[in-house]
Structure 1
């Protein structure tokens, strides 16, 4: 079978590929603004059918109890997706606007290979622990601790890294024994729909275990959150939407995992290579047009070397290749949509209103008449109280801020409603460790260290979310704990 865009205009509901009862909707290539195809438009009735299928599959099959079978199915899915890797790569570049170089890593190949990690964890995890004998209230008792699947998972995912985030939910949720209803972002429906087709046609995953519902109707996400048949909501997206998800899910007191926004700090200490550190910061915030919640978008540099740091960051940012994501070497592709470009340009205008200046960038790149492109932009002259320094922009925009030493850098980094990620560059290990311990954030990279990995938990403090994704901690988000007490063993 060869995957083609035409194959993706279907929902996966109860093991069947079915049309959306709402017809179809257009998909736009963000690099060209061309309509490249259509996806299935689901309605509330389709979502209801998907939830019913997931509930039935969980309640009436052995899926949640057969750990070896689940592991086999996850490996089947990994193998099947890898056999279609080039078709998936083409779709990912066209639909997401992701630079081709990223598809060899977190935009495609990495998340697919991570399915093997989840398969292995399903086999190796300790599903039962013996707590031994005790005499609570004088009664001889033997206790066992069981880990069991939560039940039906509703997964709502964004458009910026669709494969990474879809599989970061599908992988652990399925490995843990849950069934799932996946509602991907309407900007990137093909990435999920093609996976749904592979699941239906090339794996033994039972009908109803995975359901994929594509739609432009955001109320379907609310429906998924409110439905009492759904036991857990796993959401990745903005903090504002996360609040809405949490409120809707609270009606039935279902478990909620939220991976939300960030405004992370890249802290440069005064004993490190300033030029190297600032160059890394400028480059990283330009990757995929800055559309990453964990990117460090505030660059904190020693005040006495502020001008030098501005020059280094600007030089690196000006050298970033912007444009066609299919071209080798492109780092900064388009923003996902005209709406997102308008949002980023609104923040650029705000930066000037607040007294900032553009050291480089600040507009649309020359020669890009079509496509939702914005130049990588370095904003100087603001302080940390500005909205541009406080709010998540989700574009290739870096704000450079001065600090007055290690304690001040920690203070500025923590002066944010978010706490998702961050970076520290320094030479003295004691000083670096002091900063690491002081910054309240879920992940930190030190001197180029990379925290992203299937076995490493990811998530944030404060308004950056609740819970962890990836690793054993992420796996256990999809489990319940049951204590079983019986007569004491002799």
Structure 2
């Protein structure tokens, strides 16, 4: 386990020694209409969640800054050839990918320091994976069938040739959270730009740098025309609401909590704009009675500790055969006990800090609630001993509660796993579906027929089987029920940013 001193030494050079050419003075800028500029409301502090220290500052935008960004995106869409030139869009996306890869170590340092993301994850979904995914969307812009022939017909006796063409929706308002900022930012920027849209990105105030440095690289090292990509960082959440209500914005793409998603949807309704929502989850990890129980429980414990459980699709309910409940609890406890939170800069760290003191207090309140509801803390339960700085919380396993408990029903967004017994496959399916959410899930078993029955019956947008990983640029991601509307990534995610136009000409 790392010490506070270790964390302080590794965080400090990022800004004070000018180690990053992306943040030479430790302060980032807005990107509006192709120009890097300060925020009208000054700056706000960027804090390292592993040390609780201020490591720099970000531009703090005002409503006027957001208005200028929306105007720039509208003008770029309406008055340039961007939306009609897929080859040029692919060129710019590949430029952006290559430029980002050229700064990968600086980006890695920034991501670890700002997000608290474990270093091991920056080789995958926290950084390198999403950057590489831009190439997928560049390829898609070039290969997509923009026109579909419908053949000839004679409606009302008039010989007619018909076809459909797909066109960009227009201006995208992208509102993103702090937990996987690069993955979520690029999952919106990539397909939106590939589709021919222009973008105004409003990232979470907890992680402004991850978005702002992308804006700086785009402005300095790519041929993206002014106004095509705008990045607006701010502590003012009303700027997100501004994107939702402004009639110049054609679609809002939001990732965050279900509660906020409802507000986004209601706000966007006033201008009847399209809405994509990727919201919360309380996903079930189902273990059938013919599964490798030890292996399954080890995987479940590892998954919930990863990035301190700060992932909407992480499985946070472990549903195990009742007759092997005690064995499952012991196996999971053993795994989680070996995943103590530590310095995210160390290559072997799995569980880093939570993003903020507010979030750590929230997670702790749920752990305390579990005890008051009659649950047992099998491992974890609070701040790690000996760590006075950093917003860390131990991976925590809770037993003794059923699926109706609040900690089994509500999204906690921390390294907290609840073990729930089931009485057979159909009961496990019932428990998995007994949730307002439907984002993801996992099933472990040996019989392919029984596994398929679970996959077919659990109402979620993604399902893993025996450790299978669905995350990839070409795989659509999204949820059922209160987990959202629409899909992100893949062709389905790309088409969220398209309209369909039917055309008929006389034969």
Q: TM-score range by the shorter chain?
A: over 0.9
Q: Which residue of 2 aligns with 1:163?
A: 182
**Residue 204 of structure 1 is aligned with which of 223, 247, 263?**
223
Matched, 1:349 2:349: no
Counterpart of 2:474 in structure 1 is 455
Unpaired stretches in structure 1, ≥5 consecutive residues: none
1:477 & 1:199 partners in 2: Cα distance? 23
Are 1:77 and 2:96 counterparts? yes
> Which residue in 2 is equivalent to 1:142?
161
- Report the Cα offset of residue 144 of structure 1: 1.1
CA drift at 1:203:
0.2
Partner of 2:113: 94
Matches within 5 A, 1:1-400: 2-4=21-23, 6=25, 8-400=27-419
1:295, 1:244 → 2: CA distance? 24
Q: 1: CA distance between counterparts of 2:370 and 2:363? A: 11
Matches of 1:185 and 1:136, distance apart in 2:
52
Q: 2:490 aligns with which of 432, 449, 471?
A: 471
Judge conservation of contact 1:151–1:232 (CA < 8 Å) in 2: yes
Partners of 2:340 and 2:394 within 8 A in 1: no
Match of 2:4 in 1: none
- Change in Cα spacing, 1:203 to 1:380, as seen in structure 2 (3 Å) is same
Matched-pair contact (CA < 8 Å) for 1:8–1:197:
no
Cα deviation per residue 1:252-272 (whole Å; 9 max; x = unaligned)?
010000000000000000001
Mapped contact 2:32–2:231 kept (Cα < 8 A): yes
Q: Is the 8 A contact 1:8 1:194 kept in 2?
A: no
Q: Structure 1, residues 238-287: CA drift from partner, whole Å, max 9, x if none?
A: 00000000000000010000000000000000001101000100000000
After superposition, give the CA deviation of every residue in 1:369-399 in whole Å (9 maximum; x if it has no partner). 1000000000000000001000000000000
What is the distance in 2 between the residues matched to 1:204 and 1:117?
19
Is the counterpart of residue 423 in structure 1 residue 438 in structure 2? Answer: no
SS of the equivalent of 2:240 reads: helix
Q: CA separation in 2, counterparts of 1:387 and 1:7?
A: 42
Q: Deviations over 1:190-240 (max 9, x none)?
A: 000000000000000000000000000000000010000000000000000
* Structure 1 Cα separation of the partners of residues 179 and 99 of structure 2: 24
Question: Distance in 2 between the 1:5 and 1:282 partners?
Answer: 40
2: CA distance between counterparts of 1:309 and 1:193? Answer: 44
After TM superposition, give the deviation of residue 6 of structure 1 in Å: 2.8
Structure 1 partner of 2:15: none
Residue by residue, what CA displacement relative to the aligned partner does 1:430-488 show, whole Å, maximum 9, x if unpaired? 00000110100000000011000000000000000000000000000000000001102
Contact (CA 8 Å) 2:282, 2:438: kept in 1 or not? yes
Q: 1:61: Cα distance to partner?
A: 0.2
What is aligned with 2:10?
none
> How far, CA to CA, are the matches of 2:414 and 2:154 in structure 1?
59
Looking at structure 2, the residues matched to 356 and 8 of structure 1 have their Cα atoms a distance apart, in angstroms, of 46
Question: How many residues in Structure 1 have an aligned counterpart in Structure 2?
Answer: 488
In the TM superposition, what is the alpha-carbon distance from 1:5 to its structure 2 partner?
5.5
Q: Per-residue deviation at 1:7?
A: 6.1
Give TM-score, length-normalised by structure 1: 0.99
- Asked if the contact 2:26–2:55 (Cα under 8 Å) also holds between the matched residues in 1, the reply is no
The answer as to whether partners of 2:27 and 2:56 remain within 8 angstroms in 1 is no
Contact 2:340–2:395 (8 Å) recurs in 1: no
SS at structure 2 position matched to 1:286: helix
In 1, the alpha carbon distance for the partners of 2:400 and 2:308 equals 22
Cα distance in 2 for partners of 1:28, 1:16 equals 26
C-alpha distance in structure 1 between counterparts of 2:463 and 2:190, whole Å: 24
Q: Which 10-residue stretch deviates more, 126-135 or 213-222?
A: 126-135
- TM-score, length of structure 2 as denominator length: 0.96
Q: Distance in 2 between matches of 1:138 and 1:367?
A: 83
Unmatched segments (≥5 aa) in structure 2? 1-19
Secondary structure of the structure 2 residue equivalent to 1:130: strand
Q: Deviations over 1:23-44 (max 9, x none)?
A: 0000110000000000000000
Structure-2 separation of matches of 1:178 and 1:328? 38
Which residue of structure 1 aligns with residue 455 of structure 2?
A: 436
SS at match of 1:285: helix
Cα offset, 1:116, TM superposition: 0.4
Q: How far apart, CA to CA, are the structure 1 residues paired with 2:250 and 2:113?
A: 35
